Structure 1
């Protein structure tokens, strides 16, 4: 009789989950992937995709692969029974507009021998009134497409003969909430876009504006002070206003315009509010009981071999957690793609070589990069860089995140065409 392969159930297909889904041995294991979207998004590329630097499809990879012997369910995991070794799920139904609708009427259960929890986090708006309804986010390719479509819409509305210059200026004001790397890079890409489209929309020249709002006293909080200062100076040159210690009170809509209310400045009209800050745990992680969780963000706590810890801090048998949903006990690692990737590569090696005792996981801090627009950027590592050298490193880093040589070539080609003919935000 042919021996049965151990069943691995993988919840999530973000940075950690996608690497595991593609690199775990499908000859050793029967692998089932549960994720609500059928593609994995290269999150560092989304700001570029949202502003037309290349087609959005280049910022994602399909989970299903012809050469991979895996099972994929487009679904949400809703609960796990560790004693019965089962995961309860509900289908995620793709709608014609690209959105997803959970189908709670048709739950199903998947059994596992090993469970890997890597669902990532969801957007945290801190219960800001109107944020969920009116803000644009940047976690998925559909998010990037929505921003791109909104930008095109406000450009065209601002171009109508019935639109006054004052209203056009309000429409072309973009508010970005969040001064971390995502908010900073989105602002930089928007500044580049508005600079380039002055040739296509010469009648709108000088009207677009961008403001970054952050509740913290500074942007790029994880970077060295010298790099933060350089970022502020660079944004000032590019016309990007930075408002730190800015408290968003609520957001509402007035037809084509949005009203952004801050404690410090009151109401400000804008054509789009992009929310690029804050993470919270998904409902699945919140539902798990009998396990240790961090007081901050509610992340699952694991040992250094990425095994989920019970409340008494002993390891839960055959249950692992990584990505933004998990942290190693007493380590406090950041919720970044770099941490997720390193953990995934560690667990792939450990599970693909089960007869070898794996050493404890050790995170290796790599350089941190942020793009500032034009040909400027900042890099924090063993040596800090700014300017064009940092920009080139950011460009090469964008390619480095892409694990497909075909996509690398297509992105390089897109950069070349954009350099020659400019961005085409209207092309889908």
Structure 2
């Protein structure tokens, strides 16, 4: 056993931070993880979890492990001193509601020998009035739970004898802001859910509606043209309205306002577009940043660069918060996950071998991109483009592929089987 383990501090437990926390050699390193949630979320599974396809807890993994010699602090990093090699943090306190509240009254400081910056990004609302207060987001399991609870509540309110058909139609209109893979897949999952719920709520059959709003001229912007066309045709078949070139002006309880259409009633507005850097990344002094999104720039060995492009020793950055100087890597939700995973696996190999030994530069390997569009239909962009049921099956199997444990894979597959036999837990046959 190594009695002189180098102290590694990992900021963040998203795709990059979680893989590092679980795979770095804990006999070589004294590993400390700083993250505001004690679980890691399988973000590609959150849309399914939000619509009751399986229990939400199957879309996350605990950071703590009985067999891992690591230290975990449920906290937010607020500042870093690269000269003193310290990180300042404040606790993130879990509330009975399931949400977290930063405790700025009790800061603490942690020393490091190697610092890994991977806090991810936060929701970008572009300062749209009312968005932060009234929209539903989809970054964490509590977010997925909130969407599911809201949908169930809307169905019950719409079922009351005091609710007119016109009001029921307003309540059961879901507006999804964002036509990227996240917004598209959430819309597709909601379509499937409403189809199933029509059997549990036959008096509401045909009333729920979904609209996708995107400021861009088309949805799924990075996909090939024929795949975008297929997605639009599939949504049209499932009565999902797609509004492109739609400029959101403000959100209020029960409605959103667009420049083109004015006030649009909606029982729920889901915000699935835009990321920005967290306050911690914005606060870091003397580092090189990308012009777009303000990401930390690194060299090809993932070492953080100073403003003069020299290497900041023993400080690495990866995940959504970082990019490689002079490289253009995918920035879509699924692409970012793939980059984060590949970078994390690269850094695990580098550090487990020895950080002082020369390492080959990181090389990104392009993977196919997948999106679900509802009703056992999907689109895949890769060496060959796929659509239809084959793409849907690939998307479903890909969902399992994202999970990092066989336990989760088995439980999700069992949920799918039970759903097929008896319906979703929230829409039993």
- TM norm structure 2: 0.97
Match of 1:303 in 2: 299
Match of 2:79 in 1: 79
SS at match of 1:198: helix
Match of 1:270 in 2: 266
SS at match of 2:199: coil
Q: Deviations over 1:73-131 (max 9, x none)?
A: 00000000000000000000000101101011110000000000000000000000000
Residues of 1 paired with 2:255 and 2:227: CA distance? 32
Residues of 2 paired with 1:330 and 1:171: CA distance? 48
Residues of 2 paired with 1:406 and 1:292: CA distance? 41
Residues of 2 paired with 1:279 and 1:215: CA distance? 15
Residues of 2 paired with 1:326 and 1:72: CA distance? 23
Residues of 1 paired with 2:329 and 2:107: CA distance? 34
Match of 1:364 in 2: 365
Q: 1:139: Cα distance to partner?
A: 0.1
Match of 1:292 in 2: 288
Q: 1:4: Cα distance to partner?
A: 1.6
Match of 1:30 in 2: 30
Residues of 1 paired with 2:271 and 2:330: CA distance? 20
- Contact 1:148–1:425 (CA<8 Å) still a contact in 2? no
SS at match of 2:242: strand
- Contact 2:246–2:260 (CA<8 Å) still a contact in 1? yes
Match of 1:395 in 2: 396
Unaligned runs of 5+ in 2: none
Residues of 2 paired with 1:282 and 1:307: CA distance? 20
Q: Deviations over 1:159-215 (max 9, x none)?
A: 011101110011000000000000000000000000011110000001000000000
- Contact 2:75–2:90 (CA<8 Å) still a contact in 1? yes
Residues of 2 paired with 1:94 and 1:196: CA distance? 34
Match of 2:51 in 1: 51
Match of 1:144 in 2: 144
Q: 1:424: Cα distance to partner?
A: 2.4
Q: 1:422: Cα distance to partner?
A: 1.3
Match of 1:384 in 2: 385
CA RMSD, Structure 1 to Structure 2 (Å): 1.1
Q: 1:333: Cα distance to partner?
A: 1.5
Residues of 1 paired with 2:144 and 2:364: CA distance? 30
- How many residue pairs match? The answer is 423
Residues of 2 paired with 1:211 and 1:83: CA distance? 51
Match of 2:217 in 1: 217
Alignment of 1:106-121 (within 5 A): 106-121=106-121
Residues of 1 paired with 2:281 and 2:91: CA distance? 17
- Contact 1:152–1:426 (CA<8 Å) still a contact in 2? no
Match of 1:247 in 2: 247
Q: 1:329 to 1:2 in 2, by over 3 A?
A: closer
Residues of 1 paired with 2:235 and 2:169: CA distance? 19
Match of 2:198 in 1: 198
Match of 1:19 in 2: 19
Unaligned runs of 5+ in 1: none
Q: 1:50: Cα distance to partner?
A: 0.1
Structure 1 stretches of 4+ with a deviation exceeding 2 A read 424-427
Q: 1:222 to 1:2 in 2, by over 3 A?
A: closer
Q: 1:426: Cα distance to partner?
A: 7.2
